[in-house]
Structure 1
Amino acid sequence: MSLTGFASPWWFLLLIVVAGVAAGYVVVQRLRRKRTLRFSNLALLEKVAPKRQGWPRHVPAALLIVALILLTFSLAGPTAEQKVPRNRATVMLVIDVSLSMESTDVAPTRLEAAQDAARSFAEGLTPGVNLGLISFAGTATVLVAPTTERGGVVKSIDNLKLAQSTATGEGIFAALQSIEGFSAVVGGAEGPPPARVVLMTDGKQTVPTDDPYDPRGAYTAAQAAKQQEIPVSSISFGTPNGTVDIEGKEVPVDVDDESMQEIARLSGGDFYKAATAEELKQVYDSLGEQIGYETKDADSSRPWVMLGTIVLIASAGSSLFIGQRLP
């Protein structure tokens, strides 16, 4: 049992009483022995006094003391870290659908592998998380606003279509705007729910320019996400050997790990690299654990109560077996 603290540690004052009971037991045993030695007729004593049972006669009392200690621990309200599903969170899944996603360096294609992994991520995300979906190529489109209903998200993932150009910054800005609008509606006394952007792309920005620090560029968007305390988890997907056929010409479509790392750093998020469909699924599984669950200090007194009760029953049972009476 791994403990992180106690909710009511003042209950440990009862251990003073337990220590007093233990000390009292020792004193009583010594006094009983002295009284026995005062009996002058040892022959008669052997006939009328029961035979001493040695150390086993102390077992019931020892178990009783242990049970009292365990039950005192349970009263003190021990706490332990436990992974619990999140009840409030917003996640925007932002997926690149530029023509480079047609590359077959990841079988069957980058897009189909991405769809499969994103579908699994959406279906496996804990029910309390609001999930939205954005696709981007030359522009960004909000396909599904944040919702706990997964059916619409999965259907939109299945219907993703390729288009020209890569406006990474627009995809992030669209996610931030969608989160802001959703938070304004659901935010109550507790404030807006925590939010995160999960960005999956295979190449560098091309729109509005190839400068990520453009006012609508990817780095500018990442900085805006940092200001709003919305980290971007970026996934760089693909291999250095990817190519696509554009108008009969084979065009290389290398992944841009450096840009994805910088987006994650600027926004306060994490960077992931996936070169295969299996690696992409593993990334999404990891994100699902991080996003869908949180670690909290929760009550863990139940094991102590159970153990204390078992030891208490063992004390009573051993007392009946050894001394034919309850302690």
Structure 2
Amino acid sequence: MSLSGFADPWWFLLLLAVAALVSGYVVVQRRRRRHVMRFTNLAMLDKVAPKRQNWWRHGPAAVLGVALLVLTVALAGPTAEQKVPRNRAIVMLVIDTSQSMKATDVRPTRIGAAKVAAKSFVTDLTPGINLGLISFAGSAVTLVSPTTDRGPVVSSIDSLKLADSTATGEAIFSALHTIKSFGEVVSGPDGPPPARIVLMSDGKQTVPTWNPDDPRGGFTAARQAKKQGVPVSTISFGTMGASVDVDGTPVPVDVDDESLHEIANLSGGNFFKAASADELKKVYDTIGEQIGYEKRVADASRPWLIFGTVLAIIAAAGAIGLNQRVP
């Protein structure tokens, strides 16, 4: 059992009492043996002395001693690092629905594979998390406000439609606005709940300009996310050399790793790259584990308490069965 410490280690002083009991038991057993050796009538001794003078008779006492040790550990309040669901967290899933997402470098298409992976992420995410959905092309649209009901999110993912342009910055700003508004409603004594943005895109920003440092650009939005304490996990989805057909002309739609990596860095989030449907599924699984749970030091005394109690019961039963008395 992995332990990280003890809440009340002073309870270990009880081990002195356990040691005293063990010492007392040993002394009593030796004194009893000396008394037996003084019995001068050996013929009578064979008739009155118990036949089971072997190590088995000490078994119940030994088990009881171990039980006392285990129960002492339980009283000391052992703690361990455990995974705890982030039941108050807010996650905004932001999906690029620009025309480049119809590229077929990922089967069946980028948007088709993205829908499947996103729905898997939604259904597997920790149930208590408030999940919202934003789609963006030339503008950002909040399709689902944060909710613990996964049905509307899955339905909205299925109905995603492609459009022109890519407004990455506007999508992040919209997610931040939604998070702030919802956080004010559900804020508790500990303040607003933790939040995270998961942004999946394949191309460069084109709206309002090509410059991500524009006041409404992606980098500017990432810096604002950093100020608000909302990290942006970015997923670069697609491959280099891909193209889409526009009025019979192939138009390159290379995936944009560089700007998505920078958005993650500026916001304090993580960057992920996925070049296939399977890789995208793995990325979503990783993100879901990161944002769905957190590591906390929690009480771990229950297993020790159960084990100690069971050992004590075994010791009592063994003493009654072997020695006809409680040790």
Normalising by structure 2, we get a TM-score of 0.94
Q: Does 1:72 align with 2:58?
A: no
Alignment match, 1:263: 263
In 1, the alpha carbon distance for the partners of 2:124 and 2:48 equals 75
Distance 1:56 1:220 in 2: 76
Q: Give, in whole Å, the separation in 1 of the partners of 2:110 and 2:50.
A: 86
Gaps of 5+ in 1: none
**Aligned twin of 1:302:** 302
Match of 1:208 in 2: 208
Residue deviations 1:47-105, cap 9 Å, x none? 54334623222211111101111122222222222223222011111111111001011
* 2:253 counterpart of 1:253: yes
Aligned to 1:287: 287
Cα deviation, residue 162, structure 1 = 1.0
Question: Helix, strand or coil for the counterpart of 1:296?
Answer: strand
Distance 2:163 2:171 in 1: 14
How does 1:74-153 map onto structure 2 within 5 Å? 74-153=74-153
**Which amino acid letter does the alignment assign opposite residue 325 of structure 2?**
R
* 1:45, distance to aligned residue in structure 2 (A): 4.1
CA distance in structure 1 between the partners assigned to 2:209 and 2:172 by the alignment: 15
Map of 2:35 onto structure 1: 35
The alignment covers a number of residue pairs equal to 327
Instruction: Compute the displacement of 1:236 (Å).
Output: 0.3
CA displacement 1:215-242 (0-9 Å, x = unmatched): 2211111111111110000000001132
Shift of 1:213: 1.6
The root-mean-square deviation of aligned C-alpha atoms, in Å, is: 1.8
- The CA deviation at 1:149 is 2.1
Distance 1:236 1:52 in 2: 76
Instruction: Provide the rounded CA distance (Å) in 2 between the counterparts of 1:26 and 1:325.
Output: 17
Letter in 2 for 1:286: T
Q: Structure 2 regions of 5+ residues with no counterpart?
A: none
Counterpart amino acid of 2:193?
P
Q: Aligned letter for 1:61?
A: A
Partners of 1:215 and 1:288 in 2: how far apart? Answer: 31
Letter in 2 for 1:193: P
* Distance (Å, rounded) in 2 between the aligned partners of 1:52 and 1:274: 72
What secondary structure is seen at the aligned counterpart in 2 of 1:14? helix
Correspondences of 1:135-214 after superposition (within 5 Å): 135-214=135-214
Please give the alpha-carbon distance, in whole angstroms, between the structure 1 residues aligned to 2:309 and 2:149: 45
| SS of structure 2 residue aligned to 1:95 | strand
How far 1:133 moved relative to its partner? Answer: 1.1
TM-superposition CA deviations, 1:95-129 (whole Å, max 9, x none): 11111001011111111111111122222222211
